[in-house]
Amino acid sequence: MKVYRCRICGDPYIGSSPPPNCPWCGAHGQFIVLASEWKDNPVGEMSEVERSLLEETLQLEIDNTTFYRSAAQIADSVDGQMLFKALSKIEAEHASTVSKILGVPKPDWDRLTQEAFPTYEENLRDSVRRENRAVKHYREALEKAVDGRIREVFSALIEIESDHIALAEERLG
> At the topology level of CATH, where does 2-37 sit?
Rubrerythrin, domain 2 (2.20.28)
List the chain domain ranges.
Answer: 2-37, 48-172
User: What integer pLDDT is reported at residue 5 of this predicted model?
Assistant: 97
User: What integer pLDDT is reported at residue 113 of this predicted model?
Assistant: 87
pLDDT digits (tens, 9 = 90+) for 23-55: 999 999 999 999 999 888 888 889 999 999 999
Picking from 31, 97, 38, the residue whose alpha carbon sits closest to that of residue 62 is: 97
Q: What is the pTM of this model?
A: 0.95
User: What integer pLDDT is reported at residue 100 of this predicted model?
Assistant: 95
User: What integer pLDDT is reported at residue 40 of this predicted model?
Assistant: 84
> At the topology level of CATH, where does 48-172 sit?
Ferritin (1.20.1260)
User: What integer pLDDT is reported at residue 12 of this predicted model?
Assistant: 97
Which helix (H) or strand (E) covers residue 97, if one does?
helix 78-102
Give pLDDT < 50 ranges for the chain. none
Q: Same CATH topology for 2-37 and 48-172?
A: no
User: What integer pLDDT is reported at residue 116 of this predicted model?
Assistant: 95
User: What integer pLDDT is reported at residue 7 of this predicted model?
Assistant: 96
User: What integer pLDDT is reported at residue 43 of this predicted model?
Assistant: 87
Which residues fall within 8 angstroms of residue 78, CB to CB, at 6 or more apart?
none
